Structure 1
Amino acid sequence: MTTPGPPTTPPRTKGGELRAKVARLLADRPADTLTIGDISRLLGHSHGAVRNAAHTLAIRGEADQLGTKQPQFRANAQTTAAARAAVISPPGTHSPRAQAATARTTTPATPTPTPTPKQTGPIRRAGGQLYHPRELADLPDVEALNRLRDADVPVLLYGPPGTGKTSLVEAAFPDLITVAGDGDTTVGDLIGDYTLDDSGGYVWQDGPLVTAMTEGRALLIDDATLISPKVLAALYPAMDGRRQIQVKAHKGETIKAEPGFYPVAGHNPGVHGAVLTEALASRFSAQIQVGTDYDLATALKIDARVVRVARNLAAQVELGELGWAPQLRELLSYQKIEAVLGTKAALANLVGIAPPEDRDTVADAVSKIVGIKEVAPLTLGRQLSASTAPAARQPPPGTGSAQRGRSR
């Protein structure tokens, strides 16, 4: 009688191989809709890897996805073909807007790439917000980023806060893991650390870098230049030819990056404490400047006068005459405040959010372009008394003292 050994972990597969396995499972159960958790349990693969494979099948049109928060997947007419062979996506097919492509079961002698049609319509991000693609290298920006990912070319996005750097990455990569960097970010925040479990013992918890590497996912280091260079150094071995890191805090374990692992960084030049070191810059081969698309702001029906204010202030920033101008984030906030509190309050808030040293210049620009004599930051006024408080809402006809008198 033999004693069964410990359960073995299934060998890791390439993205295309796992995608074919997921397709085969769905094709074998055409009447079922399966969650990512269902597929993960049935195939014995990690939740993150299965998520990537299933979402890619849906993007390629080789499976149907139902829902977004807790998506379910089921077979369609293309699923059986996708299950026959491991097909690696050509450049661009990771894109959320890519059109469905029929999986090839044989490789032609001279491959002819099929161009992906440009998609300019809005893309819904994981949180439900819409992202409006912009042009980058004669491509939609999300498509360009996915081609760079397929070619293993790490990207650094730089520009003022509020210009849409994070939104672009979220729209491009549905499998994204994000690290919000600051001066307090530690190596443990990236790689992982021991945490206290319910029984009072300590268990190892993988950090976002280890998770992205083992599951082959995109990793955004947001505000990367606010993180200490000594901390960021933990990322570097995963980005060079080694594509692995050693986790000294966890028994010296070596973590190897799976296919699909893709680091992206965000940098806000001019922000206090932001330092773009040579070591960081040299590891991001593509560096893309991101500014506010004021034409998009106009298309989103933000007050054209306020967009003009922002354009003029941005021109002064370019000339070095000013340190701040409203970006798309501030313009969208203006629109929301205007809808709730009115134009005067929204303009006052726009002036108030400017840095103190630039506030007078911003107020002058608002005054000249919008036509209001004086604009001060949004401020609380005097205390309301009974005589100045808004009148209480009157009871509808048929109620009040007269009715109470009749009821006595």
Structure 2
Amino acid sequence: MDPTIGATASASTAGSRRPGYLYHKVAAHLAAHPDQVFGVGELTKALDAPSTGAVFGALKKMAAAGYATHLTGPHRYQITQAGIDAAGTMPAPAPRTPRQGSRGMGRRQPISRPNGELYFPRRLAGASDVDVLQRLRDKRIPVLLYGPPGTGKTALIEAAYPDLLTVAGTGDTVVEDFLGNFIPLPDGGFEFVYGPLVTAMRQGRALLVDDATLIPPKVLAVLYPAMDGRRVITIPSYRNERVDAADGFYVIAGHNPGVHGAILTEALASRFDVHIEVTTDFDLARHLGVPLPAVETAILLNSDLAAGRISWAPQLRELLGFTRVSKTLGRAAAVANLAGRAPAEDREHVLAALRQRFGADITPLTLGKQR
């Protein structure tokens, strides 16, 4: 990127159509608003550009160069730190008035996750959740995040720990999924491949045990020597090899209460000094463009969930899915799809809540007759 992209483009008609003019103008606008995510149409209007196609082309070039983060569904862009640095300046975002109850903390800039999606930090213990998780890791204080599926537990952990490794827990998870196992070679021999726990310990990385409470307790016990003061394990299936934890090694876990088969044992709970509940941030849902009727329905259903009247309610993941489906297939199909995602035992309750906000003619998304 040209280091002059932070400068204002010439207003002359002749100069304004020189090669690269629009690219520089788009980049300058993004650099001037580093904490904002722009849609293509929104940016076209702000720049009074000749066409959305031309702006889209400039944005794609920025993303390909690593100067902008590209989000899809719909297409949205935000300048990266590399883009700001290439502009030759570090523009300060416009001052924000702290939201009520924020304890003076303004909105933090979103953080890019490994899949390119953004995570928007939330308040926790007088700071941001990402900062708190990083401080807890520095002090070797294990954390258990709990809450319904789809509330953003994994997204938060990925934002806090870029070096993260993950074990996805199920009822079929075995010790070898942590420690490693022998794999066959083309020549008929076998080679031992170390598992994520061993790799995280040796490389000083963070390890997420996702859906930890679905894993049989006897299997989870493989973690405990690595988490306590010993910080050492052995690999019984591979010559009883000893593995010592390097600095930086850290274990964090996720738990979905109410999910069939999820059991939080005392042995597991006691290994994590900090337990943090993660719920859906409905303000963030609105900020990300989820239609207000869908947000209001989710708030109502989550109140019923908390009261024990139902076992499921839409969380941020379902609300973002609703928005994507609505943009692709229309709102009616999105509402019908949301109804169909509810478990059978909660379906009528969810349908009643949807009908209050979207109208009476709602049924789960179903194939019809041949056309």
2:166 corresponds to 1:181: no
User: Any idea what SS the aligned residue of 1:288 has?
Assistant: strand
Q: Distance in 2 between matches of 1:233 and 1:365?
A: 43
Per the TM alignment, residue 374 of structure 1 is displaced from its structure 2 partner at its CA by 2.4
Unaligned runs of 5+ in 2: 1-64, 68-104
Match for residue 339 of structure 2 among 333, 351, 360 = 351
Q: Distance in 2 between matches of 1:136 and 1:124?
A: 19
Map of 1:383 onto structure 2: 370
Match for residue 292 of structure 1 among 280, 283, 306 = 280
Unaligned runs of 5+ in 1: 1-65, 69-116, 385-408
Q: Distance in 2 between matches of 1:270 and 1:150?
A: 31
Q: Distance in 1 between matches of 2:249 and 2:107?
A: 25
User: Any idea what SS the aligned residue of 2:275 has?
Assistant: strand
What is the identity, as a one-letter code, of the residue corresponding to 1:374?
D
2:268 corresponds to 1:268: no
2:239 corresponds to 1:251: yes
How many residues were matched structurally? 273
What is the identity, as a one-letter code, of the residue corresponding to 1:159?
G
2:200 corresponds to 1:212: yes
Q: 1:199 to 1:149 in 2, by over 3 A?
A: same
What is the identity, as a one-letter code, of the residue corresponding to 1:376?
T
Give yes or no for contact 1:157–1:266 (8 Å, CA) kept in 2.
Answer: yes
TM-score by length of 2: 0.71
What is the identity, as a one-letter code, of the residue corresponding to 2:309?
E
User: Any idea what SS the aligned residue of 2:170 has?
Assistant: coil
What is the identity, as a one-letter code, of the residue corresponding to 1:363?
L
Q: Distance in 2 between matches of 1:286 and 1:368?
A: 39
Give yes or no for contact 1:145–1:172 (8 Å, CA) kept in 2.
Answer: yes
2:290 corresponds to 1:302: yes
Q: Distance in 1 between matches of 2:191 and 2:312?
A: 46
2:131 corresponds to 1:131: no
Map of 1:230 onto structure 2: 218
2:146 corresponds to 1:166: no
Per the TM alignment, residue 272 of structure 1 is displaced from its structure 2 partner at its CA by 0.2
Q: Distance in 2 between matches of 1:297 and 1:238?
A: 38
Q: Distance in 2 between matches of 1:285 and 1:159?
A: 17
Q: Distance in 2 between matches of 1:226 and 1:323?
A: 18
Give yes or no for contact 1:118–1:140 (8 Å, CA) kept in 2.
Answer: no
What is the identity, as a one-letter code, of the residue corresponding to 2:361?
E
Q: Distance in 2 between matches of 1:224 and 1:195?
A: 25
Map of 1:320 onto structure 2: 308
Identity %: 55
Show CA shifts across 1:337-395 (max 9, x none). 0001101000000000001111111111111122x1121100000011xxxxxxxxxxx
Map of 1:122 onto structure 2: 110
Q: Distance in 1 between matches of 2:334 and 2:217?
A: 40
Give yes or no for contact 1:193–1:204 (8 Å, CA) kept in 2.
Answer: yes
Per the TM alignment, residue 67 of structure 1 is displaced from its structure 2 partner at its CA by 5.7
Give yes or no for contact 1:119–1:140 (8 Å, CA) kept in 2.
Answer: no
Q: Distance in 1 between matches of 2:66 and 2:300?
A: 43
Give yes or no for contact 1:118–1:139 (8 Å, CA) kept in 2.
Answer: no
User: Any idea what SS the aligned residue of 1:275 has?
Assistant: coil
What is the identity, as a one-letter code, of the residue corresponding to 2:110?
P
Per the TM alignment, residue 198 of structure 1 is displaced from its structure 2 partner at its CA by 2.8
User: Any idea what SS the aligned residue of 1:145 has?
Assistant: helix
Q: Distance in 2 between matches of 1:118 and 1:142?
A: 14
TM-score by length of 1: 0.65
Map of 1:37 onto structure 2: none
Per the TM alignment, residue 118 of structure 1 is displaced from its structure 2 partner at its CA by 7.3
User: Any idea what SS the aligned residue of 2:270 has?
Assistant: helix
Q: Distance in 2 between matches of 1:373 and 1:162?
A: 27
Per the TM alignment, residue 199 of structure 1 is displaced from its structure 2 partner at its CA by 2.2
User: Any idea what SS the aligned residue of 1:377 has?
Assistant: coil
- The 5-angstrom pairing of residues 39-50 of structure 1 reads none
Q: 1:235 to 1:67 in 2, by over 3 A?
A: farther
What is the identity, as a one-letter code, of the residue corresponding to 2:370?
Q
Give yes or no for contact 1:363–1:376 (8 Å, CA) kept in 2.
Answer: yes
Q: Distance in 2 between matches of 1:198 and 1:166?
A: 37
What is the identity, as a one-letter code, of the residue corresponding to 1:275?
I
- The 5-angstrom pairing of residues 65-76 of structure 1 reads none
Q: Distance in 2 between matches of 1:369 and 1:376?
A: 14
2:187 corresponds to 1:199: yes
Q: Distance in 1 between matches of 2:219 and 2:259?
A: 19
Map of 1:339 onto structure 2: 327
Per the TM alignment, residue 119 of structure 1 is displaced from its structure 2 partner at its CA by 6.8
What is the identity, as a one-letter code, of the residue corresponding to 1:153?
I
Computing the radius of gyration from Cα coordinates, the structure with the larger value is 1
Match for residue 267 of structure 2 among 268, 279, 282 = 279
